[in-house]
Amino acid sequence: MTSPNPLEGAQEIQQMVVGYAKQETVEPLKSLGRYLGFGIAGSLFVFLGAFFFGLGLLRLMQSLEVFSGSSWASSLPYVIAMAALLLILVLIYSAMSRARKKVR
């Protein structure tokens, strides 16, 4: 019988430790990066959609003859567009809180 070589045992332990570290750190970080990338892209698209919706609504109301009277009537489209954007913000927040409750 030959006695086990301590150098081979140490190399095997090192390979096991390196493999375990990669499995437990690198792979979860890759999936986290993918998740974060989709989240940032999604939030950017939601922001752009809300921005263009608000701008379009404002321009639509400014083109109407109803709001082209006195000085207070000309500021009414801004107030309505802001209220619509706040409503969208509240709807998004309520949807996020409902989804967060489902996860818990």
Q: Per-residue pLDDT tens for 5-31?
A: 778 888 889 899 988 888 888 888 888
DSSP string, the chain: -PPPPHHHHHHHHHHHHHHHHIIIIIHHHHHHHHHHHHHHHHHHHHHHHHHHHHHHHHHHHHHSGGG-SSHHHHTHHHHHHHHHHHHHHHHHHHHHHHHHHHH-
* pLDDT, position 26: 82
* pLDDT, position 39: 92
* pLDDT, position 102: 85
Q: pTM of the entire structure?
A: 0.66
* pLDDT, position 85: 95
Q: Which residues of the chain have pLDDT under 70?
A: 1-3
